[in-house]
Amino acid sequence: MNQSSKSSHTAEALKKQLMFQKIGIFVDAENIEMSGLKHHEGRTDYKKILSEVGEREIIRILYYKPEYKEISQTFSNFWWSLGGEIRRPQKNADPFLIVDAVTMADKMDVAIIIGGDRDYLPLIWYLRSRGCKVEIWSWPETTSDEVMQAADIYFPLSKDKHMILNKQSSSNEGSKSKSKSSTKKIYKKKKRKKVSTTNSSK
């Protein structure tokens, strides 16, 4: 099955989601975020991505990122507001994600792995052998056909679906703040000039 036919099959499958399914979500942050930056030049919009889960019941939502990678306080607050958990392994996050998913296999109907790492193939096979459906959500540019085909459903992340926070919007916000600060400086200069003129007339 080629990528286009797999994607169209995915779209139909996602429309037939069962509301009573118990979902475990496992986010390979480094894999997804680096792919988004490399191929779409922007930050991954997790809020938009997670909205695609639909009405299904999320029992756990885990975010894995090595300790040496920075996580902003704003993102931490956002993630905790979802009821999510953050895992900070020293180096590679893959073993942590795999162990958690294996441990939870009997407690969930569907495992959503947000990440296209080929190292997850054995995990996909194992979860499916235990009767757990597996959905792989990732940027197709960095996901092999083998991973796409191994999953029950492959959901391609897409810039067209606004799953990227563009750098342009961030730079626009920065330029706005800069223009405000420069206006303040100009105002202060004018004010100082007026005061000095008054003093000199005295």
If asked whether residues 128 and 146 sit together in one domain, one would say: yes
If asked whether residues 19 and 53 sit together in one domain, one would say: yes
Please give the pLDDT value at position 41: 73
If asked whether residues 156 and 175 sit together in one domain, one would say: no
Give the distance, in angstroms, between the CA of residue 15 and the centroid of all CA atoms in the same chain.
22
If asked whether residues 130 and 190 sit together in one domain, one would say: no
- 91-97's contacts with Cβ under 8 Å and 24+ in sequence apart are 91/66, 92/66, 93/28, 93/29, 93/30, 93/64, 93/65, 93/66, 94/28, 94/119, 94/120, 96/64, 97/26, 97/28, 97/62, 97/64, 97/123
If asked whether residues 55 and 21 sit together in one domain, one would say: yes
Please give the pLDDT value at position 172: 34
If asked whether residues 157 and 188 sit together in one domain, one would say: no
If asked whether residues 154 and 176 sit together in one domain, one would say: no
If asked whether residues 96 and 183 sit together in one domain, one would say: no
Please give the pLDDT value at position 100: 97
Q: What is the residue-level pLDDT of the chain in tens, covering all 202 positions?
A: 455 444 445 545 555 667 789 999 999 999 898 877 777 777 888 988 998 998 899 999 999 999 999 999 999 999 999 899 999 998 889 999 999 999 999 999 999 999 999 999 999 999 999 999 999 999 998 898 999 999 999 999 887 766 777 654 433 333 333 333 333 333 333 444 444 434 443 4
If asked whether residues 189 and 89 sit together in one domain, one would say: no
Give the domain extent around 183.
Answer: 171-202
- Rounded to two decimals, the pTM is 0.75
As for how many domains the chain has, the answer is 2
Query: What is the CATH classification number for the domain harbouring 20?
Result: 3.40.50.1010
If asked whether residues 106 and 46 sit together in one domain, one would say: yes
